[in-house]
Amino acid sequence: MSTSMPNRFGVLRYRDFRLLLIDRFLAPSAFAFSVVGVSFAVLKATGSTADLSYVLAAQIAPNLVFAPLGGVIADRVPPQYVIACANLLVALSEGSLGLLVLTHHAVLWQMILLEAGTGTAVAIFYPASQALLPKLVPDAELQQANAVSRLVMNGAMMGGAAAGGFLVAAVGPGWALVADAIGMSFAVLPNLFIRAAATAREQTPGIFTELREGWDEFRSHTWLWGIVVQYSIVLMCWYGSFSVLGPAVAARHLGGPAAWGAIMAFESIGLIVGGLVALRFTPRRPMLFVALIGATIALPSLALAMLWPVWLICLTSLGVGVAIEAMMVQWNVVMARYIPAEKLARVSAYDVLGSVMSMPIGALLAGPIATAIGVSRTQYAAAVLIVATSALTLLSRDIRTRRSTDTPSTVLRIREAGSEAGTVSAATQSGLSAAAISSDA
């Protein structure tokens, strides 16, 4: 669907969406400092890739419990308040770790405990974030809103990753973690002024009933759980071979934290370019597109295994970032349009649970396997498994053939409880219809 550039950024006319963008700038730019800071804080304190595996696994493991619970909470209370609490918890966890590192008192169990706190915050953030954005703009502008939101987020991550890498190289990881805490504290504020209510429901069942309802909705869509299964394996391999072993490769062969920060920054540049592509690009078969992009995630691990020059690894990360971002926008739009609004947060929780529950396994296995067979062999094996899994996903007919023009089971869902008056008015005045949404899907 072709739109003019002013229309593609027309979502900025919504007040609450602009407030959301402030959060999407502050929180990712701050959190990017910890992406570099935590890894090098552990390596500095213990020098062990196995210990780094344990710390990063602790950051992801809370998803197993708190992602579904976060989905229930975000379907019951205004999701912007859930996001504010998550930002505050990250600030407390990363700030505490930063102070321990600066005072040379950080030990492994403390790092594991504090990163588990950060992981808990991330677990409750994701379903709330997925549920909030569709409340702020009309359905017909979801793709533009997702693309603009992620453009801001990825631009912030790019700047934060680059600054974090140089800060770690200049003054050490402790200050990078303190900077993260300060930024996340400021990110609490815009969420307090967003006017979006919880989705109205006639009755509120018990937590376990709501979890079961979300699960039933999740498993009823083959395209949904099929892609989630694919990415659970892809992300397990990627996280272990790239996020865990990557900093060790950078420290030993590529020049240290500055090189790793540059690689992360180029990935973020790719994400920004991918967001610009997503403003115009709508694949005819979005699930086929999403499945194929999974195979490209093998490239950064392969580049590290082959010890390519830093500039070439950066270009690889750039290209993969473009592909991943274009994929993520399509995934978010399809989720928002095909899943009922009153179940979106819970289904999103199962999405993140399924997608990332294997990442702690990848983190825990990466260090010991690399010790046993070598870092490069571990990364080669991960790359092969990523490509093979993505190929097997294409056996699903629902994933191969589902088109963007297919009519959702619920084509137009009025987000009455979450939409501000201006958004509802704009949707009404523009004459939204089932045909309009189908053509824009």
Map out the domains of the chain as residue ranges: 15-191+218-440
Residues 6+ apart with CB under 8 A from 156: 24, 25, 26, 27, 28, 29, 32
Report residue 296 as tokens: 């490209």
pLDDT tens column, 153-200: 878 887 887 788 888 888 889 999 999 999 999 999 999 999 876 565
Closest CA to 176 of 12, 40, 308, 16: 40
DSSP secondary structure string for all residues of 50-118: HHHHHHHHHHHTTHHHHHHHHHHHHHHS-HHHHHHHHHHHHHHHHHHHHHHHHTT---HHHHHHHHHHH
Q: How far apart are CA 329 and CA 334, in angstroms?
A: 9
> What phi, psi does 80 have (nearest 5°)?
-65, -30
pLDDT for 112: 94
pLDDT for 186: 95
The beta-strand segments (E) located in 270-378 are: none
Residues 6+ apart with CB under 8 A from 10: 141, 144
Q: Which of 327-363 are b and which e, b meaning 16 or more Cβ less than 10 Å from the residue's Cβ? A: bbbbbbbbbbbbbebbbbbbbbbbbbbbbbbbbbbbb
Q: How far apart are CA 164 and CA 35, in angstroms?
A: 8
What is the largest distance, in Å, between two alpha-carbon atoms of the chain? 64
pLDDT tens column, 16-44: 899 999 999 999 999 989 888 898 888 88
- CA 405 distance to own-chain centroid: 26
The number of beta carbons lying within 10 Å of the beta carbon of residue 22 is 17
Contact 151, 55 (CB under 8 A): no
Q: How far apart are CA 188 and CA 90, in angstroms?
A: 10
pLDDT for 175: 93
- Which residue positions in the chain have pLDDT lower than 50? 1-6, 409-441
Q: Which residue carries 């509802």 as its tokens?
A: 424
Report residue 4 as tokens: 């003019």
pLDDT for 328: 86
pTM for this predicted structure: 0.68
Report residue 306 as tokens: 């082959």
Give the count of alpha carbons within 13 A of 299, CB side only.
20
The residue type found at 422 is G
- 3-state SS assignment for residue 107: coil
Q: How far apart are CA 416 and CA 348, in angstroms?
A: 20
Closest CA to 143 of 1, 2, 329, 10: 329
pLDDT for 439: 31
pLDDT for 46: 82
Residues 6+ apart with CB under 8 A from 254: 260, 310, 313
Closest CA to 3 of 278, 402, 283: 278
Does the structural domain 15-191+218-440 have CATH classification 1.20.1250.20?
Answer: yes
Q: How far apart are CA 110 and CA 108, in angstroms?
A: 5
